[in-house]
Structures are given as structure tokens and as C-alpha cells.
A and B are shown apart, each in its own frame.
Chain A
């Protein structure tokens, strides 16, 4: 449906163009261009997204034996997943970690975005600050994750500092190889995806609107709750979608920082694929995809992005 309207619009624009070449076949050349533009994307997505997803769904119903797999349809893998407490726990852990990291990125990211988008008056400075937020991405994902070990470990920087200043007498063990370290690591990596969209929405708020609110007698608190926050919600939703999609599919951070204490659905997929359990890995993949779909659908209900953007 969208393809159709997208191809119509340029055709209409081209129709009154004075160039004779275009005027000779006004509709066709415009429509042809539009199809040409969308074709590579459609081919790519069909081959490498739609087809594999359909394949994963299909494989999840295959019959798995210890070292082989055959396409005889069965519900065994699905039954295994939903009857095993290990896997259901992992499902719950994934949802829990996602919710905590989502809240943490919001808690850390929103004030930062508020500072960048509203309180920094210079456009150049706010862009510079956003670039600074992206600096961690100049190093590889693995290094970023592993760098937390010398930071959070028993002999790590944080414990040394805490003891040096006499805040704690013994090193805190829970900092590394725990759920906490996974949350810290993920929040640090993904918070920038929250800051960006929110700062963008905030920077679009007309300064005069905020001044008008002040002039009408409202202090910052009332201006924030009634004007700034509602106007930034689309940014919060877009940021939340980014963070959710990435956190729900995560496995590397928990593998590197949890010391096997946190098993996310992503970690299970890695393990199952490693032991060639394709059918079971497909079940987990489908479950994860469905969860992500539900989360995105729920987030999109919060605001009408079509209207707000």
C-alpha cells in the first residue's frame, strides 16, 4: 500500500515539468524511478530478513535428535521450552533485565537529553555534546564490554577507590560477575540510544513556548510536567524501542560480565546453536522475536508517532 502511494507522488510532481523528455511520458518515468528506488531494499530484506524468519519458524517445528535434525514436523522443541524451568527462568531474566536496563537508560539518559536539548542554548554546543555521547562507539563492542572487568572487579578501580577513601573496608564482590554488572554494562552501552532521540525531540521545542509558559506564571516543574515531558514522549518511545530491541537480543554483555550467572534468551540461542540444536534454537528465536514484536507494539501505543513527528 505504501509502495503504491510512494510511486504515485513523484509521478504527480513530474507531470507539469517543462522538460519535453519528461512530458512525453509523464507517468511512466516517475513511476519507474520510484520502483527502481525501492527494489534493492525489497530484495535485500526479502532474502536476508523475511525468508530467514520464515525459515526459523519452520525449523522450530523440525524433529531434533542429539546430533541430527530432520524436517518431520513435531511440537517437541516447543514443549521442551515451555516445560523447562531453566528456560522459563531465562525468559523471565530476559524480561527483568530488559525492564531494569530500560528504566536505567531512561533515568540516566533523560536528564542528559534535557540538558543537551533544552538548557544548552547554542546549537553547535548541543551537537558537540551529542557527538561526545557517541565517543564510546569508536572502540569495538567487545573492548567496551571487557573494559568493565578491570573497572568493577575485586581488585578493580572502583573497589580500590572506595577503600582508599575509606567508604568500604572490604572489596564489594557484587560489582562484577553478577546481574548488577550486566545492568551497569548494558546501561552504559545503550544509554546513548535513549539520549539521542529524546534530545532531538527536546531541541525541536520552540523556546518561545517555554517562555510563554514562564510568563503565564508556571515554574520549571509545571512547565516540565505539562509541556516538556509530553512533547518529548515521541523521543522517549523511539529511544525505548532502540534500547528494547538491542537489550532483548543481547548475549555478549551477559556472557562477558555475568560469569554465567545471568542467562538471557540470547545466551541460550548461542549455546544451542553451538551444540547444533537448531530446532530448539529456532524456538527460542521465535519466542524472542514475538516478545520484541509485542514490546514494540506496546511502545507504539504510548504515542501516535505519525502525528507527533
Chain B
């Protein structure tokens, strides 16, 4: 599926704004014909990373290799890397067709004749499902259509790598779901590499062949979505996934964790600075209050629940005031009814836990 040499390789890329490092030594390799989603909270440096790759920003240190060449100092119009902006950035003075032919006709290198450009542009517009809208101006089309024009405009140049900066952020919810599928199928059909930046963990997991998690200018983890989901390597990855209840506590001995739910034996801890115990929302079992339940058992008060269609997420308040979430999938049967203000005991299989930290003993 992927070529032997990576299409994009970053080596220790550093970019500072003043004293604040936006990128703090990012190294990353992206293969050909691959969909990589880059998950990061706002301020994690994900947009800066894309801008460095595209050439809009020059890194303070580190190298950017694209297609086997070092392109670190090359200006963007000589790189041949596609960039799809979050706000689409269509040329407002041009029609849909002119937007798509612009890059073919006006390129400094490898420009084609207007007739050939139009032929390619029409084919690309057909592929993204915009046939018949060629003559429209960019303010006469919907958000989803603008997204497709932006995509067609970039893809018609035949780039090996396309960078997408929160491409679905400006779309409404049901359009977002549809564009997810379309982005994936368009990418597969053309065999180009997509690097897709997003702040949404569901989007990152759903779309990427691989998911890279970025935090404070560093790549924390990169791997297949299910690996990242099931086995986050650092506490922050678990946090960004937004699927884990995380409890602070101590590790009295290797293979043990003492938290608000008692002291339990655990799988081996992943090294981290803080001692954290993570258990996924959907692993939680809610039982009637039972003060005598053996650890792990968390006594908590039901506060509210949220119906999500395929599942129900319930919010409990622990004795320390922290909110604990549980998720019940509808495929497991009708959700149990909880009474607001009523106390329950939350339990789980300790083998499913993920533990971070170092044992107190060293």
C-alpha cells in the first residue's frame, strides 16, 4: 500500500513565535498513498506544522523533506504540495471553473494551455460532484460546494501530498459526515497522500489510516486509529481522545494503583511523569450503591445523561467532585434508567485499565 520511501519526512522541526515554541522538534514520516490525520487541541501547533510543510513559514531549526528532496528553504509555489484552507480561500473574483483552472494556467512552472486546463478542470469538477456549477460565482454556492471547489482546485494540480487544515470545521454537522466519506474515497481514487489536521478526536480516528497526536508542538504518538484508541501512550493522548476517565493516584508498587476507587492490581504502567489510571467510558459498569463492593469501586452520584443515538453517555459525580462518564451502547440493549441525585457504585474489569506513571518505590 505504501511506497518504500516516505513522501514527507520531518526532522526535528522547530518554529518559535517570539519565545513561544509553536513546534518543538517535530519528527514525522508520511508514506505515499496514505491518509494521516493529525489530532491536536487548539494551540498544539497543528496549523503551524501544516504551514511549515507547505512553505508559508520557514522553520527555525530542522528539515522538511518532500518527495526525496530537502525543501526546507523552498518557497510554497515551487513545492507542489497542495493546501486546502479551513475557510476554503476561494478566489472571490472568479467563477468555479476559473478557480480550478487558476493553478494550471498561472503556475510559474509547468503551466498548461487554457484549453487543456479547462478539460482537466471539468474532469476534476465532475469527480468531486460539481458538474453543472462551473459558471457559478463563488458566492452562489453552498459551504459544502465551496469545500469541493477548494479540493478540486488543489487536486487538479496532481500533488503527491495534500494538506488539509480542519477541512470540515466550517461545515454543518450532517455535511461533515458526508464529506468525511467523500474525502476518503476521493483520496483513494487518486492515490495521493492526505495530511488532515483536526481538533476532533472522532474525525481523526474515523478518517486516518494513521493518527498522529500533537501536543504543545510535539508529536506524542502516531499509529493506527485502533492502536491509538486502545493504547494511548501518554496521559495527554488519553485526554485528547476524550474517551477515558482518568484518575490521579499513586503507584505503591509495580502492578498496583491506589486511587479514589481503592487499591487494585493493574497491567504494567507506561512511563509518565504523573501517576494516572485510565478506564474507557464504555468499560464502566453501573451498579446500585454497594459500600461493600471490592475495589475497583467508585461511589458516585448520577447527575445527567446525554442521548447520542447509538449510545447514551451518563455523567456521575464522584466523592471528590470530579465528573466520571459512562457510555452505554444501544447495541447492548436498552439503556438503564438512573435517578438524578441517586448514588450508584461504578465498577469495571481492572484488566481493561491503562496506567501511566512510575512506581513510588522507583
Question: Which A residues contact B (CB, under 8 angstroms)?
Answer: 206, 208-209, 211-219, 222-223, 226-227, 230-231
Contacts and interface: CB of A to CB of B under 8 A. Distances in A.
A164 B82 CA distance: 56
A231 B108 CA distance: 21
B83 interface: yes
Given A222-B108, A226-B106, A215 B91 contact: no
Contacts of B87: 206, 208
Contacts of A212: 83, 85, 89-91, 150, 153
A161 B50 CA distance: 53
Mostly, the A contact residues are helix
A223 B75 CA distance: 14
Contacts of A223: 106
Interface of B: 54-56, 75-78, 80-83, 85, 87, 89-94, 102-103, 106-111, 150, 153-154, 157
A211 B109 contact: no
A209 B146 CA distance: 13
A219 B85 contact: no
A218 B106 contact: yes
Which 6 pairs between the two chains have the least Cβ-Cβ distance? A216-B103, A217-B107, A208-B89, A222-B106, A212-B89, A218-B106
A91 to B, nearest CB: 37
Contacts of B93: 227, 230-231
Given A212-B85, A217-B109, A227 B77 contact: no
Contacts of A231: 92-93
Contact of B153 (A208, A216, A227, A230): A216
A218 B79 CA distance: 11
18 contacts: A206-B89, A211-B56, A211-B76, A211-B83, A213-B91, A213-B102, A214-B77, A215-B83, A216-B154, A217-B77, A217-B103, A217-B111, A218-B77, A219-B108, A226-B91, A226-B102, A230-B93, A231-B92
A223 B94 CA distance: 13
Contacts of B78: 217
Given A211-B56, A211-B85, A217 B91 contact: no
Given A211-B85, A214-B75, 5 more contacts: A215-B81, A216-B106, A222-B106, A226-B91, A231-B92
B106 A209 contact: no
Given A211-B56, A211-B76, A222-B108, A216 B102 contact: yes
Nearest to B109: A217
Contacts of B82: 215
A78 to B, nearest CB: 45
A215 B102 contact: no
Nearest to B93: A230
A271 B89 CA distance: 56
A222 B92 CA distance: 16
Most chain B CB within 10 A, of A209, A211, A214, A215, is at A215
A227 B102 CA distance: 10
A211 B57 CA distance: 11
A218 B56 contact: no
Nearest to A230: B93
A227 B87 CA distance: 17
A213 B83 CA distance: 10
A64 B106 CA distance: 64
A201 B87 CA distance: 19
Nearest to B80: A217
B77 A219 contact: yes
Contacts of A226: 91, 94, 102, 106
Secondary structure class of chain B's binding surface, majority of residues: loop
A227 B93 CA distance: 7
Given A208-B89, A230-B93, A231-B93, A217 B106 contact: yes
B43 to A, nearest CB: 19
Nearest to B83: A215
A217 B108 contact: yes
A206 B150 CA distance: 15
B89 A214 contact: no
Contact of A218 (B55, B80, B107): B107
B91 A208 contact: no
Contacts of A211: 54, 56, 76, 83, 85, 89
A213 B92 CA distance: 12
Nearest to A226: B106
A216 B157 contact: yes
Nearest to B103: A216
B92 A218 contact: no
A71 to B, nearest CB: 54
Nearest to A219: B108
Given A209-B90, A226-B102, A215 B76 contact: yes
B184 to A, nearest CB: 22
A214 B154 CA distance: 11
A224 B90 CA distance: 15
Contacts of B92: 209, 231
B89 A218 contact: no
Nearest to A220: B77
B18 to A, nearest CB: 14
Nearest to A223: B106
A214 B77 CA distance: 5
A234 to B, nearest CB: 11
Most buried by B among A213, A216, A219, A227: A216
B81 A216 contact: no
A206 B92 CA distance: 10
Nearest to A209: B89
Contacts of B102: 213, 216, 218, 226
Contacts of B110: 217
A214 B85 CA distance: 13
B103 A218 contact: yes
A111 B76 CA distance: 24
Nearest to B107: A217
Contacts of B75: 214
B103 to A, nearest CB: 3
A209 B81 contact: no
Which of A217, A219, A223, A231 has the largest count of B CB atoms less than 10 A from its CB?
A217
Contacts of A208: 85, 87, 89
